[in-house]
Structure 1
Amino acid sequence: MKKYLILIILLSTYYYSFSDWKLTGWRSEPDIKKVFPLGDTIIIVDEEPKISFDKGNTWKLLSDGTNKYNIISAFVLNNTVYLSSISVGLILSTDLGKTWMPRNNGLPMYGISEIFTDGNNLYGTVSGSIDSGVYISTDLGNTWTLKNRGLPNGRDLMINTIAFLFV
């Protein structure tokens, strides 16, 4: 009996734990890749990246045309939005999506599968090409260097809080 009572309490807690969520103006595709809260501004990256300047009450496309880039990954660092794309490599915006600039010096334009930052350096993985591997930028994406020595093949990467790189 005690086990059943505990099970009922746990199930009711689970059921009611989702009651605090509500839709705030955008019903997105099911493939949201990243969400970046920046004070009142929120950026959602999916097939068509979107931005809200009022905590999610209203949304607009981050930039007309970014959906044509086939966005794979994204992050925001110092109010700069970085998007990796199958078709154009790495692009960035310093004005919250009004304009976009490529940042592919030393980085292949095709096959970027992930980008990430530890706050100081940028890391990118490229897969499916002769240029596959891990790339590092120490100047916010202006130049990139391939750093594959001793690394296995991999598609994804992660950096933990004490700056270890996992491929």
Structure 2
Amino acid sequence: MAPGVAEAEAVAGHPATRLTNHYSGLDASILGHCDNQPCINGKGLALLRETGNIFVMVDVPGGSQIRWFGDWCLEADSKENGTPVVLHKCDNGRVGQWWTPQISYSPRIDDGYQLVNAWSGRCLDARNPDWRRAPQPGTVLQIWDCHDWSRANQIWDIDF
């Protein structure tokens, strides 16, 4: 188990997990190199190969947050399609940080989830113009209207 994983799980009450696109096998990761807090705040996310980034879901009043290293939450700061998903300092009152996992019941997909932003009602989505094909490395994460389970860019492997 990676350092800090047990502590994250104890605080969250949910297992720590990688956030992996079901079709491509690529992991959600911070864009570019950051080693200080001001750099991380507002930083976008993209799909990369085997980054080992660990996320954990934390229940808060009003929803659940998807946290990275405990203090940084996935956030959509607008309700519009195409809004980038970024990391912001976790704040239980920021509704753009609330997410709901919805399990796939499709016979075509086993154990995949859509992650719905509770504020916008839109899904975590890999910006991929050809939604029938797996997203490529470097694909930026955004929110987009939730579609059926055949959309390669909206299905995630998680262990929340």
TM-score, normalized by length of structure 1? Answer: 0.28
TM-score, normalized by length of structure 2? Answer: 0.29
Quick check: which has more Rg, 1 or 2?
1
Structure of higher RCO (CA pairs closer than 8 Å, 6+ residues apart): 2
